[in-house]
Structure 1
Amino acid sequence: MTETQSPLTAPEVSRWRKAFTDITTGNAIISLFSVLAAIIVGSIMIAFTDKDVQAAAGYFFSRPGDTFAAIWDSVSGAYAALFRGSVYNYTADTFVRGIRPLTETLKFATPLIAAGLGVGLAFRAGMFNIGGQGQLLMAAAAAGYVGTTMSMPWPIHMLVATAAGMAAGALWAGIAGFLKAKTGAHEVIVTIMLNHIALYLLAWMLATQGVLQAPGSQNPKTAAMPDSVVLPKILGPQFNLHAGLILALIAVAFTWWLIERSSIGFRFRAVGLNPEAAKTAGINVSRVYFTAMLIAGALVGIAGVSQVQGTVTSGFGGDIDAGIGFDAITVALLGRSSPLGILGAGVLFGAFKAGGFAMQASQGVPVEIVLVVQSLIVLFIAAPPLVRAMFHLPDPERKARKLRNKKEVSA
């Protein structure tokens, strides 16, 4: 120990170094750099599809500066349009109009957060719930049926429809949980089948008078939701942001408490880490599977409720899912199945949805590029060694292997 280093300061340095190591090798940094890598690849695609870049590349060797300037203009213009369409439109003449894109982002994020929580909760319990589409459709059908066929005062009607949607989502997911608990049926196969069943069951409902089809109509669509069942607008009628966001935030807080602070959440995590060890410790693994899927389905049901009672109040058809059921898997993966991580991932994907249209409208960037970026995020998250190699991040597993090898050699 040197003269300038005292015994009291050495542990402090060690703690800071440990904290830095945890940050640079943890799951959060992998998610962050996965998004960054996807955006970089998306930038390359934007540049290659831009007509000005293609024209400048034709005489690259005579005037290379024109090509680089065109690349900068296309990429910066695209992401500036993404920002204006999803966060704040700084070209608007009033603050109200300027902040509208952020409210649209939160509107798109609301069902993604709720559905992502349902997928993430199942992940924590050791199950792969890819039945979000079916659970959302059944929740939408139940909420729509209560909304269009029953008459109650507000807010009772709104609350009953919300409860019906969550119950339908829980019931649909509970089928998969029950079959896994009692027969060992794999939840991936079961939820895929349930997605198809829900899709065609909803199509039948929408084409049948007296169930969901609007009275006197031949179109496969429901009637408009009555005012007594519609979720109120949070910021007034000039914005589309509705109280479904509040439901989603409550769901985030509840899921965090359930996983991190409750005894049932401890059982979920134990079964998710090692079901055999959990069974040996006295945990009823079958009950955990069934209970986790019930709660996961109810959380996905909030997404269906927010769509029917908040976003598409003029009536909905078979496309009410809008890809949310499968996007929720990406949100859960990006959020590392953590409630707060899913909240952030849902807002990010909501920004992609809201800003993608602005990119296409103002810059001519194909909206499909946003979908490619989302898919690349999943790809990079699924390959942490690739992300570590791209950004030269330390690998904690490699260090652990070196320590084990040293111990084996010394032994």
Structure 2
Amino acid sequence: MLDRLTDYAECLADPDRWAIATIVEVSGSVPRPAGTSMAVRDDGRTIGSVSGGCVEGAVVDAALECLRTGEVELHSFGYADDDGISIGLMCGGDVRVLVQPLRTIPSGILSELALPGRAPRLVRELPLDDAARDGGVLTFGRRLTTEPSARTRVLLPTEAASDLDDRVRAALELGGTHVVEIADRSQPECPVIRRLLVESTTTPARLVIYGANDFSAALVQAAALLGRHVTVCDARPVFATHARHPGAQEVVLMHPAEHLAQETDAGRIDARTAIVVLTHDPRFDLPVLDRALRADLAYVGAMGSRMTHEKRMQELRAGGLGEEHLARLHSPIGLDVGARTPAEVAVSILAELILVETAARAGVSAASPRTLREVSGDVHDTRRVCAAEPRSPEGAMAWM
């Protein structure tokens, strides 16, 4: 439910009337990922969507029923047959949805979730298939609500209790939505005795743009839609203005190399940071790229023609950068989608950034991009997106 907390302000303020449906697990091709949620009020009003329409009606009915009974329920939806008689996903995937009345979450936790400027975290107990439980809320393994009834209470063995904090903490630090299963290793079958839904948000990943122009203005707007924390830096006061970059969190008037050094020394540049160089001036872009390519960053890209790129590579080599560092540079920048306008180029750059980040999470090199029509398998199969394949040197546009 953390995916749209800002939209749930009225729900958190009036928890007795609302239930939250959260996608817990997915398999196959599904419209929305785990962690996607929808709020349902007792009069049928909804906020959000968990499937884009396939099972929305059934989820609403389940939420209204859980509001009536106060029970926490776990629902599974699979493939819907072609005649439309069964309720399910026409895309062929499977999804499990946790439906929980907001009133079952302690008010103190709801207040904490609503605090501005915080990265909220929430751990909820999932009902087991063979014994429904009360859906209690936990933080790092410590129960914050009353214990379940004696009929459903499960006592953790020592080994499960000892590793609960570490596993939950690791999932929280990773961010996103995860299911942590706790097994009873004292029994030969090691049965699962607890299943925890771990949700956490992380601070937005940074996108630092060096060079203020029409392309940076378009990139700021597009990146804001992806939830990036965007910084624009340029040494020219006439271009480095908030008026030209209304979606940026920061617009800095400074020499780009000085800014990057300052941010790095302050610990504000990390492995989730993407740097895009749009300066077109070797006095600015070379020192930035030299430092950025030596760091562990999510993405480093630079705009320029192929001639500009080759000259830039020669200068960086002369400055001591090895081939392993130069291989991290995405230049000419962006995917080859035929983009021409600044808005189109911004989409191309962000598409490449998403591709590179997805591959990095899988621990492989990014594959050459293809259209979905050209490939087989599930639409959302990241294994295909992350297949390690060589990219053609002609696979990017040469924007001036």
TM-score of the aligned structures, taking structure 2 as reference length: 0.22
Greater helix proportion = 1
TM-score of the aligned structures, taking structure 1 as reference length: 0.22
Query: Larger relative contact order (C-alpha < 8 A, sep ≥ 6)?
Result: 1
Greater strand proportion = 2
